[in-house]
Amino acid sequence: MSLPGGVYRELEAVVGPEHISDRPWILSAHRRPMPHTDRKPASPEAVLLPGSRDEVREIVRICNRHAIKYIATVSSVMPMAFPNEPGTVILHMKRMNRIVEINEEDRYVIVEPGVRHCQLKPELMKRGLSYPVASVGPGGSVLVNFSSSSGDHHTQHGTSRTNRYLLGVEWVLPSGELVNVGSLGSGAGWFCPDGPGPSLRGLIKGWGGHWGSLGVYTKVAIGLDAWKGPEVMPTEGHSPTYRVRLPEDRHKVFIFKFPTLDQLRDAMIDIGKAEIGHAVLKYFNASAALLATESANHFWDLWNSGSFREELTRPLYVYLATWSPEELQYEERVLMDIIKETGGEEVDRSIREIYESNMDFFIVVGFLQRVLRLGGGWSPAKLSGDSVSHMFEIGKAIPDLMNQFIEKGQILDAPDNWQVIPMEYGHLAHLELLFLFDRGRPGWPSIPLSFMKESAEADIKRGFHAAMPPGSGALMEQLGPLYSNYHVWARKIKEAFDRRNVSNPLP
Amino acid sequence: MDRLSDFTYTMESCNHCGQCKWILGPKMRGWKYAEICPIHQRWHYDAYSGQGLINIAEEVLNGELAYDDGLIDHIYRCTTCGACDVNCKSIRDMEVLETILALRAKCVEEGQGPLAPHKEYARCVEEEHNIYGEPHDRRFDWVQDGDPSAEGARVAYFVGCNGSYRHPEIARDTVSILSAAGLRFTLLGAGEYCCGAPLWRTGQIKAAEKQARHILGALNKLGIKTVVTSCAECYGAFRGFYPRIAPLGFEVRHISELVRDLLNEGRLKIARRLDVKATYHDPCLLGRLSEVYVPWNGKIGAYGRHDPPKEWRRGTYGVYDAPRMVLQEILGPRLAEMTRNEENSFCCGAGGGVADAFPDFALWTASERLDEAESTGAEAIVSCCPFCGSSFENAIGAGQRQMRYYDLTRLVKESMDGTKGGKE
């Protein structure tokens, strides 16, 4: 099907002829299956490039009037950015790309959806400010990471998760009505998400976000942190072998290994109690090998050498970022005391050097997509948030789960490829496992599905809190009751806000 | 590995990460100048990007997307600058630019491409051996003081179509520099034809191959061991295209590399520093796309393993330092850097046949680049490619800008004292 001519002309009148297209080659960029699935999305009927909030509102009203489904997207990295069914239009929010305001005094920034991490982060660094970049890569949308999708990142130990940074929001509801969230709603400015004015932050993004299924966010303000590094990233070398070393008298990287996960966990908790460290991670090991290498062959050489498997089975990455050399010395002394008390030791020097030369790993996650280098067959699981201890409890069971699939040759032999990242000095933690599969293997599309199912069922059986709400589909029907029937609430909210079910109806 | 079907791994691997559109994390410098793909920056749709073009390529290959004039126009709007390719290869094992070029080749093979101005290149090259259709026997009219060729020289200066017919001052300055250094070199005379780059970049592979074979024959006949170019397009063709036809029996050097070495050896001397604040623009085919092509006909096995291992062209070893070192000698601290530099350089707009097929877009792209140059405080933009030069000169004129454009050879000529060394 295609859009009725009248509808196309109505939309065209809003955005202008250059900013709407239904040409087949324009649409082709929005209907290719992502490499981790064989499910081909429905082709959208048109792609629109709105240029303002008012244009978005008008488009949404037209879509409601004609029951046309719409998906607002920026980077389109996630499957939710692709149509599930015919009769959908894409609102590509790229033209709305202004940094509206950087308020240095009150430490917030207001951005439109099209602003990318690689644009905002350096602008803030010049001003001695920063914010956490979610693990999506430098081309990801800032607004989306803070308002619409997940948002865990490498430095949330010393900062917090992106949902905690969300302040005022300008929100076009699925119907086209405009809501200003938080202090913005009472004309008091962008500084607070909870008032004076309508406190709807939890509705927008309690934890995971609604992936565009509750309308369109056209501006958000996010809180800012102080930046302890130089105004400009000190980059040397050429692609793909860049070197980014921050001033060594104030920035230092350590990687430790532990005999047991319990010891690693204790070290992580103690570091949080001591309130030191900017980034603390129990990081993936196969993913680390992918990030550290420059081709699939290079990865295999490194992986087969065994050094990353052995040294990083139970690793703890710590990145100290301080204001002064003295502060660094203090944090280092405290850190080394904790490591000694918990039985850790430093990993092979050559591994630590990789991170000393690539501190962007902690700041902008510049090479994240290297994880997909083995052909693109990948999927995350667990994606949970709870206490550090509970995350490790779940984590301990991961190798057994992975090994079931490894023994069948279905996934990469990397049973320790999972991570725990504490947030707010250990107040909470994030858990995630990543499994990689070969797209050349017959029957590969069933692998991620069966893995996810097995993972969730095992968690339910053991009473683990190990899945990220909200979500959709049959699996969520199983998990929902474990989370106070959140899925029922989420569905009712969706129905109340989007009566015609036009805003990115998820399957 | 040159046919579209050779690149299915690339087409199937893309996950829309956006790195083909945006500057790499370690190189990020601010809100402005963060986009690296000219078509994406101009039109915004994903279809206008490396990602979009490989999505289109896959649908064309699978017969899911029918040819029509709009599609062909779309495919030829890309300047083939390769920024998408190099950025993608920083994180993935994909051949984005090769896929785009193979898509164009498929369009030509199936009688759907190229566009009319590109067909005109082929006609002109066939008839007069240059892309402008100028008489072949006037190719060396730029020579003013007699043929500088030295009998039996093993170094050839390959001038190129643009230098021969449109920017003869570059050819003259290059000869002056080579002569001042006492280098024994030869011109190819009637044997110099178009290098084939404009044909290669527009998918006219057979016509480009014909040029390559002719030139390789002419060079081999003279026993040439070193080819010197003053044109990035020619340089890129020699290193990126010719090895697909036959192994190179000679080294290829750009004039900027040669001048750097001659300065280091003391065979050229800078007599005076020039009083101009300038910035340097890296031409695509001299910078990120200049690494020698190494044929690979292996298999991609489980988990992306390439067997045998592949030599990737990622722009790591492009010619970035040589022109900067030369300019440092000439300008001293008055050399400024743009945000998008080296392998992240933003295209001048002339590449891939765009200057002739879509002159408005070429102008827009060059203007964007000049804005960036002006943002550094520079009064002049310097480069090493006559096509870039033409593109910038057009945009400077159209915008009535104060900015000046210089080819590197002009600045070298103006600043040197012409010390002769006498060695080859």
pLDDT at A480 (0 to 100): 80
Q: What would the two tokens of residue A309 be?
A: 């498997």
Nearest to A367 among B74, B91, B309 (CB): B91
**Residue-range domains of chain A with CATH:** 5-95 (3.30.43.10), 240-462 (3.40.462.10)
- Per DSSP bridges, beta strands A378-386 and A315-321 are unpaired
Of A441, A28, A319, nearest to B52 by C-alpha is: A28
pLDDT greater than 80 at residue A22:
yes
What is the distance in angstroms between the Cα of B422 and the nearest Cα belonging to chain A? 36
Contact B26 A120 (CB under 8 A): no
pLDDT tens-place string over residues A325-344: 999 999 999 999 999 999 99
Compute CA distances A434 → A403, A414, B79, whole Å.
13, 9, 37
Calpha distance B169→B187 (Å, rounded)? 16
Final residue belonging to a domain, choices B55, B82, B113: B113
Q: Which of B49, B84, B113 is the last residue of a domain?
A: B113
Place of tokens 């030599």: B311
Contact between chains at A32 and B55 (C-beta distance less than 8 A): yes
Is residue B424 a part of any domain in this protein? no
Distance of CA B261 to CAs B329, B334, B423, Å? Answer: 12, 22, 13
Is 90 exceeded by the pLDDT of residue A457?
A: no
- Put simply, the chain A residues between 83 and 112 with a CB less than 8 A from any chain B CB are 92, 94-95, 99
pLDDT at B418: 46
Radius of gyration for chain A, computed over Cα atoms and rounded to the nearest angstrom: 23
Put simply, whether B49 touches A (Cβ < 8 Å) is yes
Terminus-to-terminus CA distance in chain A, angstroms?
20
Q: Show the domain range for B73.
A: 1-113
| Mean model confidence pLDDT for chain B | 95
Residue A377 has pLDDT above 70, yes or no: yes
pLDDT in tens, A289-325: 999 999 999 999 999 999 999 999 999 999 999 999 9
Q: Determine, for residues B303 and A436 on separate chains, whether the beta-carbon distance falls below 8 Å.
A: yes
Partner-chain contact B56 A300, CB within 8 Å: no
Interface contact B74-A25, CB threshold 8 A: yes
pLDDT of residue B419: 44
Structure tokens at B368: 């964007």
Residues B162, B13 share a domain: no
Cα distance between residue B233 and residue B240, in whole Å? 10
Closest CA to B200 of B165, B238, B227, B228: B238
- Asked if A154 reaches chain B (Cβ–Cβ under 8 Å), the answer is no
Cβ–Cβ gap A34/B16 under 8 Å: yes
**pLDDT surpasses 70 at B52:** yes
- The answer to whether residue B308 neighbours chain A at the CB level (below 8 Å) is no
Question: What residue ranges in A242-296 does DSSP mark as E strands?
Answer: 243-244, 251-257, 279-281
In a domain, B62, yes or no: yes
Q: Are B315 and B239 in contact (CB under 8 A)?
A: no
B248 with B118, same domain: the answer is: yes
**Which residue has 């020699």 as its token pair?**
B238
Q: Is residue B331 part of a domain?
A: yes
Q: Does the structure show a pLDDT above 60 at B420?
A: no
Residues A394-416: tens digit of each pLDDT: 999 999 999 999 999 999 999 99
Per-residue confidence (pLDDT) for residue A469, from 0 to 100: 52
Amino acid at A152: D
A 427-466 residues with CB < 8 A to B: 436, 438-441
Q: Both B109 and B163 in a single domain?
A: no
Closest Cα in chain B, distance from residue A478 (Å): 29
Q: What percent of chain A has a predicted confidence (pLDDT) above 90?
A: 73
Residue in B closest to A121 by C-alpha = B30
Nearest CA in chain A to B85: A239
Residue B423, in any domain of the structure: no
Do B105 and B128 lie in one domain? The reply is no
Residue of A nearest to B341 (CA): A238
Identify whether B289 is part of a domain.
yes
Overall size of chain B counted in residues: 424
Q: Number of structural domains, chain B? A: 2
Quick check: is B299 in a domain? Answer: yes
Picking from A119, A232, A376, the nearest residue to B13 by CB comes out as: A376
Is the model more confident about B100 or about A371? B100
Residue A212 — pLDDT band, cuts 50, 70, 90?
confident
**Residue B8 and residue B35 in one domain:** yes
Helix axes B321-331, B255-265, angle to 10 degrees: 60
pLDDT at B424: 37
Q: Are A209 and A149 in contact (CB under 8 A)?
A: yes
Contact B70 A440 (CB under 8 A): no
Chain A positions touching B342 (Cβ under 8 A) are 238
Q: What is the pLDDT of residues B221-271, one digit of tens each?
A: 999 999 999 999 999 999 999 999 999 999 999 999 999 999 999 999 999
Do B29 and B75 have their domain in common?
Answer: yes
Q: Mutating which of A19, A91, A118 best tests the B interface, going by the most B Cβ atoms within 10 A?
A: A118
Taking only residues 408 to 427 of chain A, the set having a beta carbon closer than 8 angstroms to any beta carbon of chain B reads 412
pLDDT of B417 = 60
